[in-house]
Structure 1
Amino acid sequence: MGAIPHTGGVGFRVWAPHAQYVSVIGTFNGWDGDKHPLQAEENGYWYADVTEANVGDQYKFLLTTAAGTLKRIDPYAREVTNSVGNAIVHDPNFDWQGDDFRAAPWNELVIYELHVGTFNDQEDNDHPGKFASVTARLEHLKKLGVNAIQIMPVSEFAGERSWGYNPAHIFSVELAYGGPLAFKRFIKHAHEQGIAVILDVVYNHLGPSDLDLWQFDGWSENNLGGIYFFNDVRAHTPWGDTRPDYGRDEVREFIRDNVFMWLEEYHVDGIRFDCTQFIRTVDGSCDHDLPEGWSLLQWLNDQIDQKFAGLITIAEDLQNNKWLTKDVGAGGAGFAAQWDSNFVHPIRLAVITSQDEQRSLDAIRDAICFHYNEDSFDRVIYSESHDEVANGKERIPQEINPNDPKGWYARKRSTLAAAMVFTAPGIPMLFQGQEFLEGEWFRDTVPLDWDQRDEFHGIVRLYRDLIRLRLNCGGFTRGLCGQFTQVYHLHDERKVIAFHRWDKGGPADDVVVVANFFREPQDGYVIGFPAAGTWKLRFNSDWQGYSDDFQSHPSTDVVADPGECDGLPCHAAFSIGPYSVLIFSQ
């Protein structure tokens, strides 16, 4: 489909079943619609081979229809001059030599979500950041311990600044970010640093602005979108009446081809599907299913699994539907994981609530233990994401203390949330700048303040230490990569919770996590431990090295003695600072 360069010119193919006549116009023929007509093929496809055309030429399709003569950008355009400009004949070839990268197993992924336009905006306020500016910060992410980047959508959108969730041309990479070649270079650089790239894609709606797909070949019903869209009530979404027609084979193939392009031509390591509840339902509710959308998700995941086994697909659904991450063969949608609102909302509430007495440890326990199916890593857990820190919500430090978002309370309680993210079962995810206390809320016009990385270098180290423990870099916390979790101690009055994580169990595997959600330290506090002997303190979030005004409360290694406590065979006493987390292992 689209423009197909070859040694003798360029082939052009387009789907326009209601067109009466189609030609291709461009810089190679003086934009003359009479010179290169396309021949009708079966099922509404049109094709021509143009020997005069070359890579780099600009072009459009000229359609003669019952609605008049229409100039359209190629729906499969791999490159455009801008969202309302011309398509460009794009050479998909790229030197991937040496790129044999494979992403970490899902239970060892640490994801960092970022927005290209604001992550490292090195220019002026008139232009967003680019892929090259993200590349310049890969060393920071590698040192932090991140091994996967989740990129907010990069398909060509209207204007130069956007979150990316308004795709005008899903096959073309946003030129303001550097375009397709720059994206491939970025991915190759990320792989060289050992970092996977997961791409956010939007198929629940398109546009709605700058959308040449709208009434593409002149036909529509009910004055709606035409061949690429539903033309009845199913077209409606919160973002416009532009839901693709998931029941039409050509539209399903259009979406499938887009997924495969990212995986094949760009070596992307995973796909995150935006807002799948508006693919599988008409109105986002469980009462109005959209069977065509559900079957599309199943088909896509089945196709990906067959051709790209091991690549991760993630659903953002937020309705906690366990069927999303069940196998297609069992009737599920086949996603590897989904964003977990059962985790983020109670954890955020726990740390932004100002009164300790109002924190619910039951809610924290349920957030830690929740799982969709049998695999503890079929959920992505986080305390900040682009959705959670915008649209009326702010970054956690800002929510904790709007008057002093860099102060002691904001630092202590935001890192308390971070410790839950990296010790609970699931795939942990950070949002850009979280590791150095980025404040306020996310906007596509405001770049990260990288000066804060130096100002809060201790907090950056805290995140780095948590990630190292989460990935078992020291060889003594394998349990944090394991399937099993038991919250065995919960003292709601003193706001202390403790849980046990393990894979196979035993020394270097069993991990005990203790969290104090209270403003005062706890001394001589006794809880159960899974085994007798010395339990080394691997992490203390109250360590003064993380911040000068942290208290370095005297938490130490402990010796667990035989004697049942909390349903475990042994027990030990310890001290823990205010709003702090301790991590022990043997």
Structure 2
Amino acid sequence: MPTSQQHVNTDTPLGANLVADGATFRTWAPTALEVYVAVNHTGQNSSIDSLKSSENLLVKDANGYWGGFVPGVRAGDLYRFYVVGTGSEGFKRDPYARELEFDGYPDCDCIVCEPANYQWHDADFHPPACNDLIVYQFHIGVFYAKDNNGNDIRQHRVNKILDVTDRIEYWVDLGVNAVMPLPFQEYQGENSLGYNGTDIFSPEMDYCVRKNDLAPYLAKVNRLLTAKGYDPLSANQIEGQSNQFKVFIDLCHLYGIAVITDVVYNHAGGGFDDQSIKFFDRQPYTSDNNSLYFTDQDHAGGRVFAFWKKEVRQFLIDNATALVEEYHVDGLRYDQVTVIAESGGWNFAQDLANTVRFIKPSAVQIAEYWGNERWKGVAASPNGMGFDVGYSDVLRDSLREVIAETTGGSLARVNLDKLRDALYFTHKNPGRWTAFQCIENHDLLDFNHTGRDRQPRIAALADPSNARSWYARSRAKVATGLLLTAPGIPMIFMGQEFLEDKYWTDWPGRPELLIWWEGLEGKDKVMSDQHRFTRELMWLRRKYPALRGEGLNVHHVHNDNRVIAFQRWLSNSGRDVVIVASLNERTFYNRSYRVGFPGGGHWQEVFNSDIYDEWFNPNVQGNYGGVMADGPAWDGMPTSAQITLPANSLLVFAKDNA
């Protein structure tokens, strides 16, 4: 059937969009000479002469958008654009395509989708407040995959998002309340960190399951659904690639876990094919300045977006909007906002943040911004870009430096002053939660990075000679413990919670670099002990509001003793906590170490890291039943208590046991 202008106007969405009796197709190609839509008519069997007919020709409007309506189109139909430009002509994938055909990428068709066909179950879900978040970062392609017999199958293929549904109950038990997968937009190749996306509206096909392989996954999905009282799904309800991501997000919500998606709006690609978004209107390839969506500047192997063009800005904002509205994501982690800000995208960043906040005020927006004035990432416009949370490397780097200093032995100088200052660092006050904190992440630990860009896991940093020694175990507990008791939003990188000590890679064909789940499952007691430690500390953070509050007073720093202590509180709650961390290799026995407390009376020892070493540690040292703060004023506090302080440990004291 020929195209027409029925249902098409300046408000018609870009891409392929189903209407009552067909679909509209609309794309931006201002300098193209002709743009055709090929519906179920592409690939090797296409006749270009028959395709380039008036029946398939779209109409260009005054703003450079080509559009048309094709009757009879249904969900699942295939399409591509055929663009005739001044430099070349040929097929182009729709930049707004919601899914791509499994076979043949990059020479593949787009799929017409109905984004509303997934029936959500998450109407009652409310994401945690920003200050309550505990985030878990992972890479879909190498994270977790087992067959029905419990065999690890990660090394044989790229893992699928439906494989990850097996870890939802694990996360719930662990205590995280938000997960943050690395980018899952379509990228070239089978494996990647995900920061080289080329088709950003379409999920990465290698993370999805074909129809004939869905049966075992459907059983897993339905077990989780029915456990929450919902009817099981049928295979056709999770057949689509986007629906497989939606069911994962839906299940996370049903189990109380928010999903923050990692997006890359500073650049695209790490290489482009002829049918990609680059040179979309097929201008001559004489200069990269002719590329419709991009500048001629490189970043991370790809091309920086042309932020001065309103159409490009809208393209990226539309993508964020689709993730929030169609995928129900609870937040966005914006990769390298620094590049955006330095490439003329400051106003775009403001518009992006404001739009997402308008659409979904509860969606947390996390900016990886490394500008000289980092507070501007979270400051409101006009002075700032207006994101909610900003990355911080201050606590990460100072804590890593301190842990590294301890490896010099018991007499080595350890400077806790920088750690004290790092605990105070924030992008906004009040608003200590605006600092996004981690001590491990995908960049630092990437096996393929070199030099300072690659740093060891905390376990290996804590004892380079033996990542399973007491030194490694206990120092890693202190490091993770400080992360989870410090102000800001803490993020754990996959495997950190159970003392994984290897670098990681995005290629599943390197089994020696995959997370060793078997260690947690009984083959390494050190791992299971560390997991118990992390789990119970996460739940302690969720239990005590003071650990998520605004109040902070680092009142005790003793470099010679290698001890630091700080108070956390929530205004007017009366439920203060005191955290004492020691990196001393000897124990202060028999309540011989004096620390200031903010109030007198009995303080319960509600957490002691020493008990988790070779759980249950029969030689644990601590303050059984708590301590009595009835001593003299100390550390600038009105009173004090003498405590037993185990070697390389973290203690938490609270007035109540909640």
Aligned CA distance change for structure 1 residues 14 and 550 (closer, same or farther; 3 Å): farther
Aligned mate of 1:415, from 477, 500, 508: 477
Aligned CA distance change for structure 1 residues 561 and 231 (closer, same or farther; 3 Å): closer
> What is the match of residue 313 of structure 1?
365
CA distance in 2, matches of 1:222, 1:360: 56
CA distance in 1, matches of 2:587, 2:202: 55
SS at 2:345 equivalent: helix
Which moves more between the two structures, 129-138 or 442-451?
A: 442-451
Please tell me whether residue 71 in structure 1 is matched to residue 71 in structure 2: no
> What is the match of residue 59 of structure 2?
39
Aligned mate of 2:327, from 252, 257, 266: 266
Q: Deviations over 1:283-331 (max 9, x none)?
A: xxxxxxx4x3111111111111222112100001234611111112x52
> What is the match of residue 99 of structure 1?
123
The RMSD of aligned alpha carbons is 1.9
Please tell me whether residue 349 in structure 1 is matched to residue 401 in structure 2: yes
Please tell me whether residue 147 in structure 1 is matched to residue 177 in structure 2: yes
Aligned CA distance change for structure 1 residues 418 and 550 (closer, same or farther; 3 Å): farther
Aligned mate of 1:503, from 563, 570, 578: 570
Query: Shift in Å at residue 239 of structure 1?
Result: 2.4
CA distance in 1, matches of 2:507, 2:375: 36
CA distance in 2, matches of 1:89, 1:318: 39
- Would you say the 8 A contact 1:162–1:444 is kept in 2? yes
Aligned CA distance change for structure 1 residues 551 and 280 (closer, same or farther; 3 Å): farther
- Would you say the 8 A contact 1:215–1:225 is kept in 2? no
Please tell me whether residue 466 in structure 1 is matched to residue 537 in structure 2: yes
State how 1:271-282 maps to structure 2 within 5 Å.
271-281=332-342
- Would you say the 8 A contact 1:220–1:231 is kept in 2? no
Query: Shift in Å at residue 505 of structure 1?
Result: 5.1
State how 1:447-526 maps to structure 2 within 5 Å.
447-454=514-521, 455=524, 456-472=527-543, 477-504=544-571, 507=574, 509-523=575-589, 524-526=592-594
SS at 2:304 equivalent: coil
- Would you say the 8 A contact 1:350–1:359 is kept in 2? yes
Aligned CA distance change for structure 1 residues 315 and 544 (closer, same or farther; 3 Å): closer
> What is the match of residue 369 of structure 1?
424
> What is the match of residue 438 of structure 2?
382
> What is the match of residue 185 of structure 1?
247
Query: Shift in Å at residue 22 of structure 1?
Result: 1.0
- Would you say the 8 A contact 2:610–2:617 is kept in 1? no
- Would you say the 8 A contact 1:214–1:226 is kept in 2? no
Please tell me whether residue 537 in structure 1 is matched to residue 614 in structure 2: no
CA distance in 2, matches of 1:547, 1:401: 20
CA distance in 1, matches of 2:557, 2:366: 32
State how 1:324-335 maps to structure 2 within 5 Å.
324-328=377-381, 330-335=382-387
What amino acid does structure 2 have at the position aligned with 1:498?
Answer: A
SS at 2:172 equivalent: helix
CA distance in 2, matches of 1:121, 1:166: 24
Aligned CA distance change for structure 1 residues 512 and 489 (closer, same or farther; 3 Å): same
Aligned mate of 2:301, from 239, 245, 250: 239
Query: Shift in Å at residue 388 of structure 1?
Result: 2.0
CA distance in 2, matches of 1:194, 1:258: 25
TM-score w.r.t. structure 2 length? 0.83
SS at 2:398 equivalent: helix
What amino acid does structure 1 have at the position aligned with 2:52?
Answer: G
CA distance in 1, matches of 2:76, 2:616: 57
Aligned CA distance change for structure 1 residues 228 and 437 (closer, same or farther; 3 Å): farther
* Structure 2 residue runs without a partner (length 5+): 1-13, 147-152, 209-240, 509-513
Please tell me whether residue 567 in structure 1 is matched to residue 636 in structure 2: yes
- Would you say the 8 A contact 1:522–1:578 is kept in 2? yes
- Would you say the 8 A contact 2:567–2:578 is kept in 1? yes
What amino acid does structure 2 have at the position aligned with 1:413?
Answer: R
Query: Shift in Å at residue 551 of structure 1?
Result: 4.1
Aligned mate of 1:323, from 369, 376, 383: 376
Aligned mate of 1:217, from 267, 271, 281: 281
Aligned CA distance change for structure 1 residues 546 and 138 (closer, same or farther; 3 Å): farther
Which moves more between the two structures, 212-221 or 363-372?
A: 212-221
What amino acid does structure 2 have at the position aligned with 1:387?
Answer: D
CA distance in 1, matches of 2:176, 2:290: 43
Please tell me whether residue 437 in structure 1 is matched to residue 499 in structure 2: yes
- Would you say the 8 A contact 1:544–1:551 is kept in 2? no
> What is the match of residue 54 of structure 1?
74
CA distance in 1, matches of 2:469, 2:314: 52
Aligned mate of 1:15, from 16, 28, 31: 28
Aligned mate of 1:26, from 23, 30, 39: 39
Aligned CA distance change for structure 1 residues 518 and 536 (closer, same or farther; 3 Å): same
Which moves more between the two structures, 132-141 or 549-558?
A: 549-558
Equivalences, count: 568
CA distance in 1, matches of 2:484, 2:282: 52
* Structure 1 residue runs without a partner (length 5+): 282-289
CA distance in 2, matches of 1:581, 1:309: 36
Q: Deviations over 1:215-262 (max 9, x none)?
A: 111226862163444445xx232423x111111011011000000000
- Would you say the 8 A contact 2:413–2:559 is kept in 1? no
SS at 1:411 equivalent: helix
Aligned CA distance change for structure 1 residues 526 and 97 (closer, same or farther; 3 Å): closer
> What is the match of residue 397 of structure 1?
459
